[in-house]
Structure 1
Amino acid sequence: MDTPKITVVGSLNMDLVISLEVMPQIGETVHGDSIHYIPGGKGANQAVGCARLGADVTMIGAVGDDLFGKRILEEMEQYGLSQDGIFTLKNESTGIASIYHTKEDNSIAIVPGTNGKLTPEMVKSYRDVIAASDIVLLQLEIPMETVHESLRIARSSGVKTVLNPAPVNPLSPELLQLVDVITPNETEFEMLIGKKADRSDAELFEAIRTWESKFGNKLIVTRGKHGATHIIEGKLEHVTAPLVEVVDTTGAGDCFNAALSYGLAKQWEWKEILSFAVRAASISVTKFGAQGGMPTLGQITNSTD
């Protein structure tokens, strides 16, 4: 197959990453070690992840005409991503994510900015680009109506879609029935199905099976250092992650979704796709920064040696 074409519709943020030893509790002040200003946003991270693997990527999103917006566009260009699908909105602020980062985990607060102003009409103007794609990859840091319109265009064009439902929001049955693959983490999945799960294999199998039967899409639960879980050939399968030295978990989920979309676009078998995506995400956490940690195809391939 030729170079896969992936369209990412989603967010572009400036990440304000504060590194510290422990997370502050409510009402507590702690000392941080450092602060970094790093271009991010789930959409941009996933676009960079796809591009690093060698895909032909179109990013559809919006930034403001401020310093953060200019820096993000420069960074996207450095990764070989075209700015053609990124709208620069006058007198608007680029979205930001304030990230508290420790070695073990991270906590994130988002101010949408121009991400909240990406309209269905903007996406419609790239209908031909979406129609020519192998995969359309989306998240939920842009307006829901824009996500829905992107899915409608893709479905009407016969293009497969991957929805990373983060940050988790209520999703209508009409929207979900337009999705081909959905990739919640464990917490997001519990919120989507509306109940706390004990995460036993039997209950997880039944929850995934019920979901897939209801909405007609494939559901993959991402599980951090434990890899990912899905149903294949009527059986629950856990795809384990290799042991690595964790530096920064920010962007690991984005890396997983980028690698999964790449494998789908290449029309690999599910076993190969998920093994590839889990290895990619594991490599990503060994480096600092979401986009800076995105591995190349060669790095993932060599990790199996």
Structure 2
Amino acid sequence: MTTPILVLGNVNVDLVLGPVDGWPAIGTEIEVERAEMRAGGSAGNTALALTGLAEPHLMVASTGDDPNGVWLRGEFDLACCDWIDDPGMTTTTVGIVHKGGDRVFFTTPGHLQRATPQALLARVPTAPRPGAVAILSGNLLMPAIRDATSNILVALRERGWTTAIDPGWPPQGFTAPTRAMFGEWLALADHALLNEEEVAALTGGDGASALVAAMRTGTVLVVKRGPAGALALGGGEDFSVSAPTVEVIDTVGAGDSFNAAYLAAMVAGEPLRDALARGVEVASRAVSTYPRRYSE
């Protein structure tokens, strides 16, 4: 399948519960208003948003061969997926939504722990045209993929892809080795898509400008700021876009929905400012609709 957007990374089962107002005491039980089992993972959420936006794409990802894996594959457009078979259990994430819409995640190891760069790269095609984009997301949850991320970014560029990366939050925290890895990745990617909490933790509070100084010339850093919108730095440009006021249902996958719309706009040749605005618009709609919608 030849498409201008390639999605690589983590796909897993999401069980979203909430909202909660603080944590219950250990040994007690509370009721929540809503529970939803849905396809998720950073790459998965991006692919779902691209499908919702009717944007041509190909996702290369793995699942386990258990019932959850079978169900998970059925939630995606078969024509847009190249699935890697992994014997064993499928990774599950439980997302607890707090009042106000923010969230916390609990993730089981499952198939993501067994994902390999060899299986991934064996299925990566040559880019169909200049400007086609490949995004690698959620790689921090896949140890072998994480350790090979620099090599994967190089391989993608050699095959003609413009590269984007959204690693997510490291389970071990932003240790010195993790910061060093991020530095390598930012020096290789064309688009770095981070949220403001990640930027703050990565820089020790120095802010996005500190990251831009370490990036390759031409790399664009996008900082996703939730209800405050997003900003972009690099490529000779520096500007922000505000978000509309919406009633938030849950923010799980908000950044991934942003990624989908942003990259689709970039592939279409839209200016960076317009791509940023498109990402904010789609993410705002995604977090405020149930069932989730990405377009009007």
TM-score per shorter chain, which class?
0.7 to 0.9
Which one of 166, 188, 206 corresponds to residue 164 of structure 1?
166
1:196 correspondence with 2:193? no
Matched-pair contact (CA < 8 Å) for 2:13–2:37: yes
Residue aligning to 2:154: 152
Change (3 A) 1:28 1:271: farther
Residue aligning to 1:210: 213
1:96 correspondence with 2:92? yes
The Cα shift of 1:88 comes to 2.0
1:295 correspondence with 2:294? yes
Q: Which one-letter code corresponds to 2:194 in the other structure?
A: P
Residue aligning to 1:201: none
Q: Counterpart of 1:246 in 2: which secondary structure?
A: coil
Q: In 1, Cα distance between the equivalents of 2:153 and 2:183?
A: 13
Residue aligning to 1:55: 55
Change (3 A) 1:226 1:173: closer
Residue aligning to 1:124: 121
**Any unmatched runs of 5+ in structure 1?**
198-203, 300-305
The Cα shift of 1:102 comes to 2.9
Q: Which one-letter code corresponds to 1:76 in the other structure?
A: F
Change (3 A) 1:206 1:245: same
Q: Give a deviation string over 1:224-245, Cα, whole Å, max 9, x none.
A: 0000112367564221001111
Q: In 2, Cα distance between the equivalents of 1:25 and 1:211?
A: 43
Residue aligning to 2:193: 183
Percent identity, please.
26
Matched-pair contact (CA < 8 Å) for 1:131–1:153: no
The Cα shift of 1:149 comes to 3.6
Matched-pair contact (CA < 8 Å) for 2:221–2:234: no
Matched-pair contact (CA < 8 Å) for 2:220–2:234: no
Q: In 2, Cα distance between the equivalents of 1:58 and 1:240?
A: 30
Q: Which one-letter code corresponds to 1:102 in the other structure?
A: H
**Any unmatched runs of 5+ in structure 2?**
none
TM-score, length of structure 2 as denominator length: 0.85
Matched-pair contact (CA < 8 Å) for 1:45–1:254: yes
Change (3 A) 1:157 1:109: same
The Cα shift of 1:156 comes to 0.8
Q: Give a deviation string over 1:107-134, Cα, whole Å, max 9, x none.
A: 111123112222111122123x253371
Change (3 A) 1:4 1:274: farther
TM-score, length of structure 1 as denominator length: 0.83
1:106 correspondence with 2:108? no
Aligned residue pairs, count: 279
Q: In 1, Cα distance between the equivalents of 2:237 and 2:293?
A: 31
- Listed as ranges, the matches of 1:79-94 within 5 Å are 81-83=79-81, 85-90=82-87, 92-94=88-90
Residue aligning to 1:74: 74
Matched-pair contact (CA < 8 Å) for 1:103–1:248: no
Q: Counterpart of 1:86 in 2: which secondary structure?
A: strand
Q: Which one-letter code corresponds to 1:82 in the other structure?
A: C
